[in-house]
Structure 1
Amino acid sequence: MAIGFALANSILIKAPRGSIIIDTTESIDSAEKILEAFSKTVDVGEIKAIIYTHNHADHVMGAEAFLRNSSKNVEIWAHEMLIDQMERYLVTSDTIFRRAIRQFGILLPKPYHINSGIGPEVRIDATFGYIPPNRLLKRDESDEIIAGLRVKLVHIPGETPDQIGVWVEEWKAFFCADDFYRSFPNLYAIRGTPSRDVMKWAKSLDKIRALRPKYLIPSHTKPIVGEEEIYNLLTKYRDAIQLVHDQTVRWMNKDMHPDDIARRVKLTASLKTDWLTEYYGSVFWSSKAVYAHYIGWFDGDISNLDPLTRDERSERIIQLAGGAYYANLAARKALVNDLRWALELSTHVLNVHPTDTEAKSIRLEALKAFAARQTSANSRNYYLTTALEQAGLIDTHIPKQRQISAVNSMKPATLFNLFRFKFNIEECGHLTDIAEFYFPDYKEYIYVQIRNGVILVENSKEKQNHLTVNLTVKVTWEKFREFVLEQSSPIVTWMKGDLTVDEGLFKLRNFMNCFEKSKTS
């Protein structure tokens, strides 16, 4: 088992007919170091299978490194939902990337970055080597023989809906993915995740408890040995999850505001163990996530049904204070014993006066003071990264090279579907157009329709003659990706004869200008 090489662990199982890898970490670089370390410890032999426990990048992106010297018929196992879950990430990838930079402290200088919560660090310059699964778990559990070893693959939704665990009954060993680790669980991730069904998580832990494993091997932090200890730890872990859920629902049904509920919900003394210390997840955030899971964004306060915008509220608060000068005086005073108000008030000033140096100074001090008080690495990293962003010392946008790597790994339909979220409706919402893109190297047509302010994308192996097309483009997929990444010019490509546009380059330019470009660092 490799711990400390990456954010997640990677696990090697020596099976009768070869090796099995459970989880591959977030990059080829980390996976290569792990494979080298494994090889110095055991005879790795041929890797016959990889098991992805779930879709998160720190579990799937290093696969290529493990398979370079293996045969082509390697089994790659995952839950059937994994691919859809990964594609869902692409929808919000721009903002999720920036927020993940903050949560994991990826850009924090070494003196400030202690760790990334449940692992040492996440590297921003990671190289990706994800390989899609070719074996899918489609049931609640399935008995399989993998590399000659009899295992049971078990669906254990928790941190993600597609999560699977591995039970080796012969060894009384359960590989529990991210359903258990040495911290209060991350029932909500501040980088931005869909609401996690926390009671499904608790029930997954019940599944594991029922097996009475002697060895519990998580994909983060160290394994645990001992049937009774494991059973007792799992019991407290699942009870902590249920407590947060049930007590949140209790107060929710009394029409209490989610902020007040989150302050009220606490673990009992019996649950305050080292295994449930809030190093990674937070009871406070988790309670808010449970509320949102059941009720959504509206907190029931009628004044929040059609509220002022953020900037409008900030402007009025500053007016009540007597102006920015007096708001800053109050914020500076609050730094002594009311950090929340100092941070909020200085933020209000900056929303209206973005260059106010005194408000910037106060907010910076508040952020650093908040960071110093945190137990959770996630919140500490987020406060410190936000402080450095405000100071102009770091840029959390996706690096250009990482964008290039991502785009180059996409198929035409995947990339064009992302255009939907880049459509500039203010400039092009009045248009009614259909564009046909033909990629001869893929032998695939992509049709992009602008209609009623939305983008519709259809891919086909055949030309759709029934459509009234306003723009007809023929180019290789490689060249088109270069256009998107601004690595080459359509004009130069057209002059070389590698691009055909029936309606002319001006029409293509106008069409592509309807889609915003992602900002990179």
Structure 2
Amino acid sequence: MPEKSEYVEPIEPSAAVAEANRKVAEATSAADEKDGRDFADASRFQIAPPDVPVIMSRKDPEKVVWDFTAYDFLDPDLRAQMPSVNGSLHRQGELTAIAGLFQVTSCREYRIYQVRGYDLSNMTIVEHDAGLVIIDPLACYETAQAALRLFRDKTELTKEQRPVKGLIYTHCHVDHFGGARGIFAELGDPADPGVPIVAPDGFLEHAISENVYAGPAMARRAQYMYAAQLDKGPMGQVGSGLGLTISTGEVTLIPPTHYIGGPQYQPVPKGSWSGSYVIPWRPGLYVFEEFGFPLVLQLTPGTEAPAEMNIYFPDARTLCIAENATHTMHNILSLRGAQVRDAHAWSKYLTEAIQTFGKETDVLFASHHWPVWAEAEHEEPGGKLSNERILEFLNKQRDMYGYLNDQSLRLINDGRTGIEISEELQDLPPGLRDHWYNRGYYGSMSHNLKAVYQRYMGWYDGNPAHLWELPPVEAGAAYVTAMGGAEAVVDQAQQAYDRDTPDGYRWAAELLNHVIFAAAAEDGSPLAEPQVTRAKELQAKVFTQLGYGSENGTWRNAYLTGAQEVVNGPQPLIVSQSSSDLIRSTTLDQYFSALARSVDGPTAAEQHLAPIALNWVFTDAQGAATGEKCTTTLRNGVLVFVEGGDRFVELPAATVTLSRQTLNELAETPGFEENFNKAVQAGKITLEGERAQEATDAVFSTLTLPDPKFAIVTPRQRN
């Protein structure tokens, strides 16, 4: 393989990219002069800015997990002076960089605050006489702890005066639960078991499936999406559109105690509806009153998250719209990877929210960005409020997701593929695109349309030529040979690059990708090192120009991270999505399902022709049986789990007795087999069976470790 290149960044923006960005910057600045309400709203009712320059890791005092000073360059006065940043994305970064403690609204019963700019998401604090209710405690322990500390310092409300009396997760993404334990740090870390922790039904299942099952792959791809390795600045990371970036601290989770939509909480029947809830009754609404004031909840499954809910505060005429409506076009499919979201359901639930809460909402806030307030109809003090701006925001967001879904389906049924649809529909209609909150800062028109196609039609476009394609290395080698060799291909890519147009860059990226992957081909003569180095250096330039021109924050991050890695190789992973709390929160089914995904199936099937069954018996911390048991059987390269025990296994190869705590510890550090055997030696696990140790060794030796820094823009190293 070629040695690491000495190619040195930064790469300057091309003339065309710089000019395009300058024009966008001028246009956005002119628009802000005419209507500066976004900046006014983002700063409205600010109580205090951040009171520290950085937030440090609690486990590594040398590690910064959040840096408030890193984005000082995001100044509206400097927007037009940064030719390497799309002016519209720069504007979005300026807004999301407005950080600190803000009061959202108040009523006689309580006051609602937000801490913004302390993480990718917002933390909302509802303060009432009995204590605090926290909504969405950010992404990590440290930022949540710092956010609560800011609130206490600036309001002078101590933990004795206003203890934390409740926690709400609006949905199952890590930036909305990862800081849960940081909220209780002031009490010595453990949460009070009497504190209600409220979430939509399905929250825990989806939080675990997203962060454990495919966690390593998502964490690696999140490096591209959020560009954690890049320097913050005009030549690097300028935000992600939904927020600045995601923090890199300790991810925690406290499981919910109350599930809205679960057996505990069912929709309120019409006859039980109270006038104190302000809004008219509609079927499917839930009410939660255990905090001492009513909350009306609307479940919105399958929208921005598979388990999500909106929260209405009747006493304050205020709606928390979770992450279902934000000041950006959101993702139908996240670039880090996830299950495809349902744009139709998203649009439908926004319609339901508008019809349910629209007339009675004077303040709208979300788990990201800044609120929207009703405005006085007249300038006279005490005049009637008009919430037309709130309704317009919700309606336009609803229309956007409906448009993405419906127009994709129209063209699907006309025979278009995902790529063709994204080229044909390059923008929204003027009535939608001309609103900042519908611009593609986080999601994009292009990849969202492809996501809708994927949801309905899958990966295959129906063309048999695409049914059994060569993989990238083999295809690259064949293309390079067919086009006259690597030098000829790179020459053509250089010509495309020199055109200094978006399509020229796109074509150059495709050509160079073939050369870079062809270098790893095993058949045929290897490419000369200078050819590959030249291809990588030019690809870095191509990616950089595409990144500099992107209005979308995650596209910019992906391109600029790719530019760095195509030359320097994959970088170490900065943050892992999995945590001890996530492991502790798994059911046995989830735990062993995750373990099954690390089995080297081909090797296991070849080495173990006969099934190997293990019975697992669980005890409490004192060694007393809990009655919980299960069976795992390795057969045909698959680890099969049966809860309660497999009735077809009469004589297991081994019986494994251990506590659930010990089982959790086996997965908290890499190397399950080694951890298991150490626990046996320490007496934490007992084995029964004539050849029990041999059986467990046979099963656990088939487990593999994921590669936390697998290659993305270069060929992976083959075993």
TM-score, normalisation: structure 2: 0.68
Give structure 2 stretches of 5+ with no counterpart. 1-113, 262-266, 268-283, 375-386, 521-528, 710-719
> CA, structure 1 residues 136+494, in 2 after alignment: closer, same or farther (shift >3 Å)?
closer
Q: Deviations over 1:424-451 (max 9, x none)?
A: 1221114321123445446444422022
User: Does the aligned pair in 2 maintain the 1:63–1:129 contact within 8 Å?
Assistant: yes
Percent of pairs identical after alignment? Answer: 23
1:288-303 to 2 correspondence within 5 Å? 288-303=450-465
CA RMSD of aligned residues (A): 2.6
Question: Aligned to 1:270, which of 426, 431, 435?
Answer: 431
Deviates more, 1:503-512 or 1:144-153: 503-512
AA aligned to 1:215 is V
Deviates more, 1:471-480 or 1:211-220: 471-480
Q: Which residue does the alignment assign to 1:195? A: 340
SS of alignment partner, residue 244 of structure 1: helix
> CA, structure 1 residues 341+436, in 2 after alignment: closer, same or farther (shift >3 Å)?
same
Deviates more, 1:166-175 or 1:10-19: 10-19
Q: Deviations over 1:143-200 (max 9, x none)?
A: 2214211120111342013110111122210001101111122222111121111111
SS of alignment partner, residue 450 of structure 2: helix
AA aligned to 1:348 is H
Q: Deviations over 1:460-494 (max 9, x none)?
A: 4x897953312344455555635863496666655
Q: Deviations over 1:106-135 (max 9, x none)?
A: 2222332212321222123x1123111111
Rounded Cα–Cα distance in structure 1 between residues aligned with 2:349 and 2:128 = 26
User: Does the aligned pair in 1 maintain the 2:143–2:247 contact within 8 Å?
Assistant: no
Determine if the alignment matches structure 1 residue 366 to structure 2 residue 528: no
Q: Deviations over 1:214-248 (max 9, x none)?
A: 10011100001011111111111111221222221
Q: Which residue does the alignment assign to 2:165? A: 48
1:11-30 to 2 correspondence within 5 Å? 11-30=124-143
Rounded Cα–Cα distance in structure 1 between residues aligned with 2:618 and 2:574 = 28
Count of aligned residue pairs for this structure pair = 519
Rounded Cα–Cα distance in structure 2 between residues aligned with 1:471 and 1:58 = 41
User: What's the offset of the Cα at 1:452?
Assistant: 2.9
Question: Aligned to 1:118, which of 242, 260, 263?
Answer: 242
1:178-327 to 2 correspondence within 5 Å? 178-210=323-355, 211-212=357-358, 213-226=361-374, 227-265=387-425, 266-271=427-432, 272-327=434-489
Q: Which residue does the alignment assign to 1:352? A: 518
User: What's the offset of the Cα at 1:392?
Assistant: 3.0
Deviates more, 1:61-70 or 1:230-239: 61-70
Which one has the largest radius of gyration? 2
Rounded Cα–Cα distance in structure 1 between residues aligned with 2:436 and 2:676 = 59
1:329-478 to 2 correspondence within 5 Å? 329-337=491-499, 338-354=504-520, 356-392=532-568, 394-395=570-571, 397=573, 407=583, 413-430=589-606, 431=608, 432-441=611-620, 443=625, 444-460=628-644, 466-475=649-658
Q: Which residue does the alignment assign to 2:702? A: 514
Deviates more, 1:464-473 or 1:43-52: 464-473
Rounded Cα–Cα distance in structure 2 between residues aligned with 1:12 and 1:490 = 43
Deviates more, 1:135-144 or 1:368-377: 135-144
TM-score, normalisation: structure 1: 0.92
Q: Which residue does the alignment assign to 1:99? A: 221
> CA, structure 1 residues 170+441, in 2 after alignment: closer, same or farther (shift >3 Å)?
closer
Question: Aligned to 2:254, which of 131, 149, 161?
Answer: 131
Q: Which residue does the alignment assign to 2:195? A: 74
Deviates more, 1:62-71 or 1:266-275: 62-71
User: Does the aligned pair in 1 maintain the 2:120–2:245 contact within 8 Å?
Assistant: yes
Question: Aligned to 1:147, which of 279, 291, 294?
Answer: 291
> CA, structure 1 residues 397+67, in 2 after alignment: closer, same or farther (shift >3 Å)?
closer
Determine if the alignment matches structure 1 residue 37 to structure 2 residue 221: no
Rounded Cα–Cα distance in structure 1 between residues aligned with 2:316 and 2:595 = 49
User: What's the offset of the Cα at 1:62?
Assistant: 1.2
Rounded Cα–Cα distance in structure 2 between residues aligned with 1:519 and 1:300 = 33
Rounded Cα–Cα distance in structure 2 between residues aligned with 1:96 and 1:254 = 34
Determine if the alignment matches structure 1 residue 485 to structure 2 residue 670: yes
